[in-house]
Structure formats: structure tokens, C-alpha cells
Structure 1
Amino acid sequence: MAPVDDVLAWGVSLDHLLECKTGQLVFEDFLKTEYSEENLLFWLACENYKKKTSDTEMMVAAKRIFVEFVQVDAPRQINIDCVTREEISENISQPGPNCFNRAQRLIYGLMENDCYPRFLKSEIYQALLEQAERR
């Protein structure tokens, strides 16, 4: 059960929601109902990627993100423009720390303007809000 403050904070901004582990899980459950959880999973993978320090770790993580989310026909292909996709394809052999920044910003914008407002109106969130307010 999520603390009242957390549940209320999730309604303030997408950032508040994503900063909270429970919030991420609840948001992912919601996105699964819309078949768009790849957006969140990609965003989280990018956040994790930015924490990599060794070149080898970065290389392995970048390839995994590319194969899972970015390449055409990826199992969880994200919805990004072909210029961004092409840019990542060109840089994937030498991925830098900012390799996915542009794509991550696009996906964040998509979640913020599209999925997040629907999440706030969803039964999942409304039920949690109701429970939180009753306590």
C-alpha cells in the first residue's frame, strides 16, 4: 500500500510519479492496460544507462536498449521519429553517456502529455487516491 503523501504527489507531476518506486510500478500496471508500457520501461532503462560508469557496461546496456526498444521491429519498439532512431543507430557502436537523451526526452514528453493525464483519470489511480484519502 502506497503512503498517502506519495499517492497525492503522483498527481502533482510525472516527475513525482517516476521518482517513486511504487509509483513506477502502478504507472507500469496502468500502461500495460493501454499496451504502452514500453515507454516507461525504455525511460527507466535510459535512467539506468546514465548511471553506468565503465565503457563495457555502457556498451552492453546500450546494445540491450537498442535491440529491445529502438531498432525497427524491436520487441518493445518505442514511438520515435526516424531521425532520432537513425541517430542512435549510428552511435550505437560507440555509445556515449548521452546516446539516448533525445529519444528519452521524446518518450518523456509522450508520457507526460498523453499517458500521464489518462493515468490520473484511470480507475487504478482513482482507487488508490480514494484509499489514501480515507486514511
Structure 2
Amino acid sequence: MWKFSKEFTGRLCCFPKDPLEDVESWSESVDKVLGCKAGQIAFQQFLKSEYSEENILFWLACEDYKKIKSAPEMISSANRIYSEFVQTEAPRQINIDWGTRESIGKNISQPTLNSFDTAQKLVYSLMARDCYPRFLKSDIYQGLLRRNESR
């Protein structure tokens, strides 16, 4: 049985209410899970149990990257994302096609806010199609549902 971590206590969502109040809505779409901090944490724990945590970590890094305002910060962040997730033999290498990986590599010296869009869409699609349905059946999600219903 999965134990609830301390991360699930407190107010984690964008809303001023219990973060697990929305747990039932997570079954509607992967966007509902990714749109809530508690959902992200639960999904990340599930992906970690499946040895594919790099997917959500990359997706979240891309979301943060798109909010960057300064060029020096963009260059630094792009290089970090590239070396951590994209380049061949990266420590948390994501599963993307060779062409996408090559395209990012060619343009990494002059990154734009859209540098990782194609790779992010591929990873999102993989999570939505493959990981998300298993998450809904997982002990992690089912445990959160039961916990929410027992209140």
C-alpha cells in the first residue's frame, strides 16, 4: 500500500482549498492532473515507481522555461534542460525521436522560448496515452480517491 507523503499536506493547488478535493477530477484528463500541484506530485510519484519520472520532470522544466524573460537565463536554462534530458546519454534522457533530439542540439546555442516545444509535445503525448491510464488504475491514485471519499 502506498503511503501518503508529507508533500500532500497543506494547500498545494492554485486554489485556497484542500489540494486533494480535486482528486476525482484528475480522472477527466491528464491536463487536470498536470494543472494542479498535488496532481503533479502524485503523478510524479507514480512515474517514479515506473522508472519514467524523467517525463514529468522534463515537462515541468519546459513549462518553467517558457516563463523566462531574460536571454542569459534562457540560455542557461536551455543548456541545463538539454544536458539533463535531451542529449544522448543524458542522466534523465527522455524518449524522443532522433530528428527532434538532433534539431534541439543544432539550435541549443541560440535557444528560443519554443526550443523544446516539439519534444515537450512528444513527452506529453507519451504521458497522456501511455502513463496516465495506468496512473488512474494505480494504488497511488486509487488510494488518494479512497482517502478523499472517507472524509
TM-score (norm 1): 0.97
Who is 1:19 aligned against?
A: 35
> Matched residue of 1:75: which SS?
coil
In the alignment, structure 1 residue 84 sits paired with structure 2 residue 123: no
Output one character per residue of 1:7-54: Cα deviation in whole Å (capped at 9) or x when no partner: 011111111111111111111111011000000000000000000011
Count, aligned residues: 135
Equivalent residue for 2:64, pick from 43, 48, 68: 48
Q: TM-score, normalised by structure 2?
A: 0.87
Map of 1:39 onto structure 2: 55
CA distance in 2, matches of 1:84, 1:59: 19
Amino acid at match of 2:87: Q
In structure 1, stretches of 5+ residues that fail to align are: none
Q: Which amino acid aligns with 1:59?
A: I
**How far apart are 1:133 and its partner, in Å?**
1.5
How far has the Cα of 1:74 moved from its partner?
Answer: 0.1
Q: Distance in 1 between matches of 2:94 and 2:38?
A: 23
- Report the Cα offset of residue 4 of structure 1: 4.7
Write the mapping of 1:56-67 to structure 2, written as runs, cut at 5 A.
Answer: 56-67=72-83
Unaligned residue ranges in structure 2 (runs of 5+): 1-8, 10-17
Distance 1:66 1:4 in 2: 33
- Structure number with greater CO (CA < 8 Å, separation at least 6) is 1
Aligned-residue sequence identity (percent) comes to: 61
What is the rounded CA distance, in whole Å, between the counterparts of 2:117 and 2:127 in structure 1?
Answer: 15
> Match of 1:120?
136
Shift of 1:5: 3.1
* 2:95–2:123 contact (8 Å) kept in structure 1: yes
How far residue 126 of structure 1 moved from its aligned partner, in angstroms, is 0.3
